[in-house]
Chain A
Amino acid sequence: MVRIRFFASLKDLVGGSEMEMKLEQETSVRSILHQLKARFPELKKYEPVLLVAVNQNYSGFDASVSPGDEVAFFPPLSGGRR
């Protein structure tokens, strides 16, 4: 299993803050996202700006994910104005 977490507008989009996904062998963030997009097509528009953290560290889409890991998807941060 992999724990998937969503924050801010992504949480609204998928209708929940977390879910579990079956995983028996190592995969990539990209492959997890691919499965999520099939289930939540609206995620596609976020893809260019989406941020990912594996086990609470910023990661790329090529990062590997193993059973027991936690993968979080979230929108870009506001950045603010100085």
Chain B
Amino acid sequence: MIQIVEGKINREEIVKSVSTAQSGAIVTFDGTVRNHARGKRVTHLYYEAFPEMATRELEKIRTQAIRRWTLNGMAIVHRIGRMEIGESSVFIVVSAAHRGDAFEACEFAIDTLKTTVPIWKKEHYQDGEVWIEGCGQ
């Protein structure tokens, strides 16, 4: 499952989509909305995607991961639009026979996603809002 969604992320459904009888490990990464950034209190976030290209880039990540590690499945779902503190913005699930492959592939997926998938976030504070663009921000 590779998806860009506008509503809440359904974690259970995504986990189920990659669960197989051959899997001895399921590793998940849940990216959640944090209440602070750059020394400021964040009230909520807004994510925007270049949806068609983001989906293609997510597919590429999965293809690369499946080539590099021995996996049974990988699902990546990214939410766009407005999100409140504590809500999931991105959810990744990797299933494999053994945990080493699943951990490594999951870390690869989120690290690559952050640098190649065209999705941007805007942080909203009590006194304004800022697009977060560029490394190290």
- A binding-site residues for B, Cβ under 8 Å: 5, 7-9, 11-12, 49, 51, 53, 56, 58, 72, 74-82
Contacts and interface: CB of A to CB of B under 8 A. Distances in A.
Interface of B: 48, 50, 52-53, 56, 111, 114-122, 131-137
B118 A53 contact: yes
A56 B134 contact: no
Contacts of A5: 50
Contacts of B52: 56
B133 A56 contact: no
A56 B56 contact: yes
Contacts of A56: 50, 52-53, 56
A79 B135 contact: yes
A55 B135 CA distance: 25
Given A8-B120, A82-B111, A76 B134 contact: yes
